Amino acid sequence: YYPDTQSISYTTLTRFPPVKLLAPEKRKRVLVTGGAGFVGSHLVDRLMLLGHEVTVLDNFFTGSKTTVGHWVGHPNFELVRHDVVEPYMTECDQIYHLACPASPPHYQFNSIKTVKTSFMGTLNMLGLAKRTKARFLITSTSEVYGDPEVHPQPEDYWGHVNPIGIRACYDEGKRVAETLTYGYHRQNGVDVRVARIFNTYGPRMNPLDGRVVSNFIMQALRGEDMTIYGDGKQTRSFQFIHDLVDGLIALMNSDETRPVNIGNSDEFTIGEFAELVREIVEKVQREDGTPARHRVQIVYKPMPQDDPQKRRPDTTRARQVLDWQPRWSVRMGLEEMVRYYKTKMEEGSI
Ligand code: NAD
Ligand code: UDP
Ligand code: UDP
């Protein structure tokens, strides 16, 4: 399925994976803000392999130079330390605007900065798109639906967000970023794309970022208790990173200017998900001949404030207009991620 990603092994990366030679008229100058983060680095890999010229803007708040280190020095690649709340001038054809912390502990660490990043960062990148006539894609989120009263969530659902709660800096930040995006579209004719991304996981996710998939896998691999917040009856639907990158590139290159949900509709309670992760970690350890330890325990911790009770994307629009649907089952994706973390732990790099 993934000829372009298959040539990259996430556990044994070499410098300069082989890129396609694109005719100059097909080669795009692509700006990726937040390109050193989890999603951004995978998107950069794909765009580079396809033969485009890629510039990454990142302030390295939650991202790291190592996620794109294998491209540094490549003639098609540029890595720029820049905070998107400050203006930035360049010439480009497409902008993927991802810059924004995505994990609750990270975006709550400095909530004012999170709102500034969403508002001022998006304003600057839209100003840049207006000046250069570049096509602009923003990675919005399922969080714009808040704690939803409609299930699953279609794009025309307006959401149920607490504007003053601890998640508001992220949720309302993304909502105003969408508002700005459609303002520039209507007033200034900027060509826009809006992806509403649902929970995504995969290799290179920061193991310490506090999100549920990285927490559960790291806890199970280390033989520590797995921490469920609340009673574990809340639900989420998990998508593997390669499916998301497919969806983002398909959306950028489509004619769809309305928001599009990109997610996997396989829904789990967090309790079920903890058991699935534990089972997959045990399977990988058995297959690798890792000596069996005690079975890790599942423990319960207090539920964070405003934690959405349920979440599942309605992906009808993505199927109809992008001809896109997820291809990685949660089991396949989790196994890949467990192997990645396990190798990195054995190397001592995480
Ligand atoms: P991440 O935290 O790994 O990556 C975010 C990147 O943005 C990091 O490299 C960080 O250093 C950079 N950044 C943050 N603030 C910045 C600023 N002011 N200026 C420049 N760079 C800045 O998160 P991710 O999971 O890769 O998320 C990427 C995008 O996708 C975000 O916009 C996020 O809201 C969106 N998204 C992700 C998910 C998910 O499950 N991963 C779900 C919904 C939406
Ligand atoms: N901007 C930028 N790069 C550009 C063009 C604009 O960072 O190449 C910023 C600009 O500094 C401004 C924002 O984008 O803060 C919005 O630009 P716009 O031209 O829409 O608004 P104005 O400058 O008229 O307020
Ligand atoms: N969660 C959990 N244990 C953890 C981390 C998270 O039970 O160690 C729960 C969290 O309360 C939420 C769900 O898992 O209900 C997804 O959390 P995450 O932070 O990954 O994403 P989001 O809440 O933004 O969807």
User: Looking at residue 5, what is its pLDDT?
Assistant: 59
Q: How far is the CA of 108 from the centre of ligand 3 (A)?
A: 14
Q: In the numeric block, which tokens belong to residue 130?
A: 């207006």
**Lowest pLDDT segment from 1-10, 76-85, 100-109, 185-194:** 1-10
Catalytic option among 10, 107, 170, 184: 170
Tell the residue nearest (CA) to atom 23 of ligand 1: 102
User: Looking at residue 204, what is its pLDDT?
Assistant: 94
**Nearest-angstrom CA–CA distance, 334 and 301:** 23
- Ligand 3 pocket, Cβ-based, cut-off 6 angstroms: 104, 199, 211-212, 215, 227-229, 234, 236, 270, 304, 307
> Please, what sign has the CA dihedral across residues 294, 300, 306, 309?
positive
Mean pLDDT calculated for residue range 233-238:
98
State the CB neighbour count (10 A cutoff) for residue 250: 18
pLDDT over threshold 80, residue 347: yes
User: Looking at residue 223, what is its pLDDT?
Assistant: 95
pLDDT tens-digit series, residues 287-346: 999 876 789 999 999 999 999 999 999 999 999 999 999 999 999 999 999 999 999 999
Note the ipTM here: 0.98
pLDDT tens-digit series, residues 48-91: 999 999 999 999 999 999 999 999 999 999 999 999 999 999 99
User: Looking at residue 86, what is its pLDDT?
Assistant: 98
- Which ligand is in closest contact with the Cα of 64? 1
The yes-or-no answer on residue 170 being catalytic is: yes
State the CB neighbour count (10 A cutoff) for residue 75: 8
Mean pLDDT calculated for residue range 106-117:
98
pLDDT tens-digit series, residues 23-39: 989 999 999 999 999 99
59: left (phi over 0), alpha (psi -120 to 50) or beta: alpha
pLDDT interval class at 6 (50, 70, 90): low
User: Looking at residue 294, what is its pLDDT?
Assistant: 84
Choice between 277 and 11, residue whose per-residue pLDDT is larger: 277
**Nearest-angstrom CA–CA distance, 220 and 53:** 40
pLDDT over threshold 50, residue 1: no
Mean pLDDT calculated for residue range 130-144:
98
User: Looking at residue 283, what is its pLDDT?
Assistant: 96
pLDDT tens-digit series, residues 181-226: 999 999 999 999 999 999 999 999 999 999 999 999 999 999 999 9
Express as a percent the part of the chain with pLDDT over 90.
91
**Nearest-angstrom CA–CA distance, 350 and 341:** 8
Mutation test residue for ligand 2: of 57, 131, 188, the one with most atoms within 8 Å of CB: 131
User: Looking at residue 75, what is its pLDDT?
Assistant: 95
Mutation test residue for ligand 2: of 55, 97, 116, 123, the one with most atoms within 8 Å of CB: 123
Average pLDDT, the chain: 95
User: Looking at residue 52, what is its pLDDT?
Assistant: 96
Mean pLDDT calculated for residue range 125-145:
98
pLDDT over threshold 90, residue 7: no
Residue 161: which residues within 8 A CB-CB, separation 6 or more?
143, 144, 145, 146, 147, 167, 168, 171, 172, 175
pLDDT interval class at 265 (50, 70, 90): very high
